[in-house]
Chains A and B, each alone.
Chain A
Amino acid sequence: MKTGIGPGIVEGQTVVREIHHNSQRQVNKGRIRWTPILLSGYLLAARPVFGNPEDPLQMPNMFKPQSTPAHSIFDLSLFVLAICAVIFVIVFSLLAYSVIKFRRRADDDGREPPPVYGSNQIELAWTVIPALIVLVLFLATARVIHAIQQARKPPEAIDVIAIGHQFWWEFRYPAFGVVTANELHVPTSDPSHPTPTFITLLSADTDHSFWVPRLAGKTDLIPNRVNHMWIDPNETGIFVGQCAQYCGTQHAKMLLRVYVDSPDQFKQWVQQQAKPAQVSESAKEGRRIFETTACINCHSVSGTVADGRFGPDLTHLMSRDTIASGAATNNSENLRMWIHNPDAIKPGSLMPAMNLDRRDLDALTAYLETLR
C-alpha cells in the first residue's frame, strides 16, 4: 500500500495538471506557490461566490433548487433559518448586554452584588416559549418529510436503478434496456403533466450517498437495502453532485452529473443508448486487444463478448462527457492515460493499470473512441 507519494504518482500528477489546464478554466496549477495563489488565484476563485458566476451550473448550491424535493427543502430551510435568526438576535443581545452592562468597573467598591437565586416565573417562561417554538418547527418539518417521502408515483414516471460502486455510479433504465454510468439522463417534468424520475438506490459494495443538491436531498445507497428517492426537474441543464457517504479511498472523486434533457432530447438519447455497440472495421485490432485482455472481466460492450459488471458499461462510452466518474474530461489523451495508469487521474481507484505497450494502447484507445 502506498503511504506517500511515489515517483509514479508524481509523474501522473503532472499529466493530470495538464489535462485540467488544457480542458477547462483552471485556477490552481497543482503545487502550492503561495504568493501568486494568494494574489490572483483566490480572487478569481472567489468571484463566483460573490455574484457574477462564470458557470452557475457547476455550483451545487442547495439554495438554487430546480426540482420539487429540493424546493420544499429550500422553503423549509428559509423558515427554520428565520426562526433561528430571531432566536440568535434575542439571546445574543441579552448576552452582549449583560457582559457590557454588568462588567466590573475600574472604580468598583469591592462589595458583592446582591445574590439572586432564581425565579420560577422566569424559568417557566423560558421553558414554555421554546417548547412552543419547537412544536411549530416540528409541524412544519413533519409536513415536508411526508410530502417528499410519501409522494405518489404517477404512471408516467421514469424508473432508474442507481447502483453505487467503489468509486463510480451505475445507472440502469429497466424499461428502456439502457445501462450507463456516472452521467444520469432524465427528462424535464412539466407540472401539468408530471414525468418525475423515481430512483431506486442500491449498492454493490460499501455505503454511498446520492447527492445532487439542486435536485433533492441526499439518500444513501446501502448494500442489502433498497432505498428510494425522486426528482422532477423543471428546466434542462447539467446538475452536479457527488457521493456524500465515505466509501473508501477515492470517495472524493466519485462525482455525479445529472443531465436534464427536454422530453424529445431524452427520447433520442434513450433510442441511441438502447442500441448495441456499432463497431467499425478500422478499430478491429483494438477490439481484439479489448476482448482478449482483462478488460472484459469488468466492462460490458453490448453486442460483443464483453459482459463484465464490475466496471462501467462502455457500450456508448463516447456519448459521455467525462471518464473515471467525472474525474477527467472524456478525450483521447485522458482515455489513454486512464488505461495506461489510472492512479495518475484517480489514485486508489479499482481500475488496474493495463501495462500495454504503446502500440496496443493506441489501438485500444482508438477502439474505445468508436463506441459512440
Chain B
Amino acid sequence: MASESIALTTAHDVPQPIGTILHDWVVTVDHKKLGILYILYALVFLVIGGIEATIMRIQLIVPHNHFVSPQVFNRMFTMHGTTMIFFVAMPILFGFGNYLIPLMIGARDMAFPRLNAWSFWLTAFGGLLLYFSFIGGNGLYGAGNAPDVGWFAYAPLTATAFSPGHSTDFWTLGLLVSGFGSIGTAVNILATIVCLRCPGMTISKMPLLVWLNLVMAGMVLLAISPLTAAQMMLSLDRFLGAHFFDTLAGGSAVMWMHFFWIFGHPEVYVLVIPAFAFASEIIPVFSRKPIFGYPVMVAATVCIGFVGFSVWAHHMFTVGMSSYANSFFTITTMVIGVPTGIKIFNWIATMWGGKIILKTPMLFCIAFLFQFLIAGLTGIMLSAAPFDWQLGNSYFVVAHFHYVIVGGILFTLFGAFYYWFPKMSGRMYNETLGKWHFWLFFIGFHLTFDFMHVPGLLGMPRRIYTYEPGRGWDIWNLICTIGVFFQIAGTLGFIGNLLWSYFNGKAAGNDPWDAWTLEWSTSSPPLEYNFAKIPVVKSRRPLWDIKHPEDPDWNYE
C-alpha cells in the first residue's frame, strides 16, 4: 500500500540456528515477541482448562454418574475457573494489548521493555506453580492435591482445618505471583499510552482499542491490589496462625468475600473491556464505516470503569446483608447496564448503513453482539437481589457468566485472532476453515450455555459433582454436555487453522483488510523497531487520510 510517509520496512529473513531463535524468545524484551509468548502460553492453558471443563461435563451427563470421584470433580472446577480467569483470559488479553498498543500508537516498544518481560515470566511461573500442585499439593500429612476450594476460595474452607496439605497454598501463591505480573503489565500499558503516543495522536485521536486498554490497565491496578492483600492475609492465616479469615478463632468469612469480590467483579470488566476493544476495531473495518459515537464510547467505558468498582457485593446478595445494602448493590449493578447498553447500540449504529463484510472476524463479532446482549439481560435479572436469592449460585449463574466470558470475551478473541493473524504471522488464515470453526463453536456454545440456564431455574446449584434423578435436570445436562463436543471440534479447527496458515497461508501484505489504524501501515510481521520512521497522525483513522487525501477524517472530527 502507498504509505511511504509513515513507514518503509520490509521483512527479510536470515536463517538462524534453532538454539539462537529459542534463546532470543526467552531473553526477548520486544513487545511483539512478549505479546506472542503471552498468547501462546494462554492457548496452552486454554486447552488444559478446556479438558478440565470436559471432564466435569462428562461427569454430569447423567445423574449419579461415576466418571470421576467428588474429590477430583471439586479439583476440576477449582482449577478450571482459576486457570481460565488468571492463566487464559488475562494473559491472552495482555498479549494482544502488548502486541497491538505500541503499533497502534506509533511507538517502537512499550515504555518499560524489561518490566514487560519480567511481568510475562512472573505470570508464566505463577501458572506453573499452580499446576505443580497436582504433584506438590500433597503436603503435610499427605493430604491434598490440586486445590479444591473453588475459584473464589471462600473462607473458612481455605483454613488449615478444612484444607490440610498444601493445595490451597499453591493456589494462593500462584495467584500472588501472577498478580504481580498483572500489576507490572498494567503499569506498563498505562505508561506506554500516556507517554509514547506518536506526534499528533492526542488522547481524543487514539484508536478505541488503546483507550479501552487504558481503562483496563487502570482497573487492573485497583482490582488486583485487594486480591493480593487477601492472598497475603490468607497465607498469614495458614502459615503463621493469623486469624483474618479463620472463623474457628473468631475471624470473618464475610471479609474474605468482600476482598475477593472487590477484585472479582472489576476483574470481569478487566476481561470484557479488551473484548469490547477488539469489537470496536473489527466492526468498523468490516462495516466500512468509522465507529459511531467515538466520544460516547470512550465515556461509556470510563463510566463502566468507575461504576464497576461499586457493584461487587451483588455476588453476596445471599450472605445476609441489610435490605439497604442489597438495594444499593442492586441499583449500582443495574446502572452499569446503561453504559454497556450504549456500547451495544453504538456498535449496531456503526454497522447501520455500512457494507458489512461477513468474513470470520466479523462473524465472531456479530455473534458477540447477540450473545452479549443476552448476557447483559440475564445480568439484569441477577442484579435484582430477590431474583438473585433464587438464581445465585445456581446453574443459571454459571450459564450467565459463561455467556459473558465465552459468548462475549472468547468470541471477540477468536475474531481478534483472525483479524490480526495476518499482521502477526505475515500470512492469511484459511477462510473456509475459519467459517467451520465459527459455526461449530457457535452451535456448541449455544447447545451448552443456552440450555444450562434451565436447570438453574429448576433449582440445580453449581459445584455439585452429581445430582438426583427426577428433578427435571437430566435432559438439560445431557444437551449441555453434547454441546461441549461441538466446541471441542470448533477449537480443533481453530488450532489447525493457525498451524496450517502459519506454514501454508497466502502472504498477507501490510494491509489485507484495507484498515485504518497504524499497525497496518508497517510490514507483516513488523520488524523489531515497528516503524522505520515514527508516524505523524491527524485523525483517528490515519490510514484513511492517506488513502483518501481528498476527504480526510480530520475535517469531521
Contact A99 B353 (CB under 8 A): no
Q: Give the segment of A111-119, A283-291, A292-300 that binds chain B.
A: A111-119
Contact A5 B69 (CB under 8 A): yes
Contact B318 A118 (CB under 8 A): no
B150 to chain A, nearest CB (A): 5
- A265 CB–B CB distance under 8 Å: no
- Among A41, A116, A209, find the residue whose CB has the most chain B CB atoms closer than 10 A: A116
Q: Give the segment of A29-37, A175-183, A332-340, A358-366 that binds chain B.
A: A29-37
Which residues of B are in contact with A by a Cβ distance under 8 Å? 61-72, 74, 138, 142-145, 148, 150, 154-157, 162, 165, 247-248, 250-254, 287-290, 292-296, 318-320, 322-323, 326-327, 330-331, 334-335, 337-338, 341-342, 344-346, 348-349, 351-358, 366, 369-370, 373-374, 377-378, 380-381, 384-390, 392-394, 457-459, 461-472, 474-476, 478, 548, 553, 556-557
- A238 CB–B CB distance under 8 Å: no
Q: Given A3-B72, A16-B64, A59-B459, decide whether A77 and B557 contact each other with a Cβ distance below 8 A.
A: no
Q: CB-CB < 8 A to B373: which residues of A?
A: 88, 91-92, 95
Contact B387 A1 (CB under 8 A): no
Nearest chain-B residue to A138 (Cβ)?
B331
User: In the complex, which residues 269-316 of chain A have their Cβ closer than 8 Å to any Cβ of chain B?
Assistant: none
Report the 7 A-B pairs with minimum CB-CB distance, sorted nearest first. Answer: A217-B389, A60-B459, A252-B464, A45-B474, A227-B320, A223-B247, A118-B293
Q: Given A104-B355, A127-B338, A224-B250, decide whether A42 and B475 contact each other with a Cβ distance below 8 A.
A: yes
Nearest chain-B residue to A126 (Cβ)?
B345
Nearest chain-B residue to A140 (Cβ)?
B384
Quick one: which of B144, B252, B293, B353 contacts A113, CB cutoff 8 A?
B353
Q: Given A99-B366, A138-B334, decide whether A3 and B71 contact each other with a Cβ distance below 8 A.
A: yes
A232 to chain B, nearest CB (A): 16
Q: Could you tell me the distance between the alpha carbons of A345 and B144 in the complex, rounded to whole angstroms?
A: 22
Q: Given A102-B356, A146-B323, A245-B393, decide whether A1 and B64 contact each other with a Cβ distance below 8 A.
A: no
Q: CB-CB < 8 A to A141: which residues of B?
A: 327, 330, 384-387
Q: CB-CB < 8 A to B459: which residues of A?
A: 59-62, 211, 213, 240-242
Contact B142 A225 (CB under 8 A): no
Number of A-B contacts (CB under 8 A): 341
Contact B461 A72 (CB under 8 A): no
- A4 CB–B CB distance under 8 Å: yes
A185 to chain B, nearest CB (A): 20
Q: Could you tell me the distance between the alpha carbons of A263 and B194 in the complex, rounded to whole angstroms?
A: 71
B493 to chain A, nearest CB (A): 23
Contact A1 B71 (CB under 8 A): yes
Quick one: which of A1, A60, A140, A216 contacts B144, CB cutoff 8 A?
A1
Contact A145 B355 (CB under 8 A): no
Contact B334 A222 (CB under 8 A): no
Nearest chain-B residue to A46 (Cβ)?
B475
Chosen A-B contacts, 19 in total, with CB atoms closer than 8 Å, are A1-B71, A13-B66, A28-B63, A28-B65, A41-B62, A58-B468, A60-B458, A63-B457, A87-B377, A88-B373, A112-B548, A113-B353, A119-B293, A131-B338, A138-B327, A142-B330, A145-B385, A146-B323, A224-B251
Nearest chain-B residue to A25 (Cβ)?
B470
Q: A61-B457, A117-B292, A217-B318 are in contact. List 12 more A-B contacts (CB 8 A).
A: A1-B138, A58-B468, A60-B458, A60-B459, A88-B377, A113-B287, A117-B290, A149-B322, A206-B156, A223-B253, A249-B71, A252-B70
Quick one: which of B250, B294, B327, B349 contacts A122, CB cutoff 8 A?
B349
Contact A80 B384 (CB under 8 A): yes
Contact B70 A95 (CB under 8 A): no
Contact A249 B70 (CB under 8 A): yes
Nearest chain-B residue to A118 (Cβ)?
B293
- A194 CB–B CB distance under 8 Å: no
A206 to chain B, nearest CB (A): 5
- A49 CB–B CB distance under 8 Å: yes
Q: Could you tell me the distance between the alpha carbons of A2 and B148 in the complex, rounded to whole angstroms?
A: 13
Nearest chain-B residue to A227 (Cβ)?
B320
Q: Could you tell me the distance between the alpha carbons of A55 and B470 in the complex, rounded to whole angstroms?
A: 8
- Among A16, A244, A246, A253, find the residue whose CB has the most chain B CB atoms closer than 10 A: A246
Q: Could you tell me the distance between the alpha carbons of A87 and B387 in the complex, rounded to whole angstroms?
A: 18
Contact A144 B386 (CB under 8 A): yes
Q: CB-CB < 8 A to A240: which residues of B?
A: 459, 471
A358 to chain B, nearest CB (A): 27
Q: Given A138-B330, A145-B323, A248-B162, decide whether A27 and B386 contact each other with a Cβ distance below 8 A.
A: no
Contact A137 B380 (CB under 8 A): yes
Quick one: which of B66, B386, B458 contacts A148, CB cutoff 8 A?
B386
Contact A246 B389 (CB under 8 A): no
Q: Could you tell me the distance between the alpha carbons of A27 and B471 in the complex, rounded to whole angstroms?
A: 12
User: In the complex, which residues 159-187 of chain A have their Cβ closer than 8 Å to any Cβ of chain B?
Assistant: 166
Q: Given A32-B67, A98-B348, decide whether A46 and B289 contact each other with a Cβ distance below 8 A.
A: no
Q: Given A138-B331, A141-B330, A245-B154, decide whether A130 and B386 contact each other with a Cβ distance below 8 A.
A: no
A87 to chain B, nearest CB (A): 6
Quick one: which of A1, A32, A91, A127 contacts B142, CB cutoff 8 A?
A1
- A369 CB–B CB distance under 8 Å: no
Q: Could you tell me the distance between the alpha carbons of A104 and B288 in the complex, rounded to whole angstroms?
A: 10
Q: CB-CB < 8 A to B378: which residues of A?
A: 84
Q: Could you tell me the distance between the alpha carbons of A133 and B66 in the complex, rounded to whole angstroms?
A: 47
Contact A116 B323 (CB under 8 A): no
Q: CB-CB < 8 A to B322: which residues of A?
A: 149
- A320 CB–B CB distance under 8 Å: no
- A73 CB–B CB distance under 8 Å: yes
Q: CB-CB < 8 A to A119: which residues of B?
A: 292-293
Contact A116 B389 (CB under 8 A): no
Contact B71 A244 (CB under 8 A): no
Q: Given A59-B459, A61-B459, A142-B327, decide whether A219 and B320 contact each other with a Cβ distance below 8 A.
A: yes
Contact B392 A45 (CB under 8 A): no
Q: CB-CB < 8 A to B358: which residues of A?
A: 103-104
Contact B292 A118 (CB under 8 A): yes
Q: CB-CB < 8 A to B468: which residues of A?
A: 58, 255
- A48 CB–B CB distance under 8 Å: yes
Q: Given A45-B474, A145-B327, decide whether A225 and B349 contact each other with a Cβ distance below 8 A.
A: no
Q: Given A118-B292, A145-B326, decide whether A48 and B144 contact each other with a Cβ distance below 8 A.
A: no
Residues 100-136 of chain A: 1 if any B CB is under 8 Å from the residue's CB, otherwise 0? Answer: 0011100010001111111100110011001100100
B501 to chain A, nearest CB (A): 23
Q: Could you tell me the distance between the alpha carbons of A295 and B254 in the complex, rounded to whole angstroms?
A: 34
Q: Given A62-B459, A134-B335, A218-B393, decide whether A102 and B352 contact each other with a Cβ distance below 8 A.
A: yes
Q: Given A245-B393, A249-B71, decide whether A88 and B374 contact each other with a Cβ distance below 8 A.
A: yes
Contact A206 B380 (CB under 8 A): no
A129 to chain B, nearest CB (A): 9
Nearest chain-A residue to B142 (Cβ)?
A1
Q: CB-CB < 8 A to B330: which residues of A?
A: 138, 141-142, 145
Quick one: which of B62, B319, B338, B458 contacts A130, CB cutoff 8 A?
B338
Contact A28 B469 (CB under 8 A): yes
Q: CB-CB < 8 A to B66: which residues of A?
A: 5, 13, 30-31
Contact A104 B356 (CB under 8 A): yes
- Among B155, B162, B472, B548, find the residue whose CB has the most chain A CB atoms closer than 10 A: B472
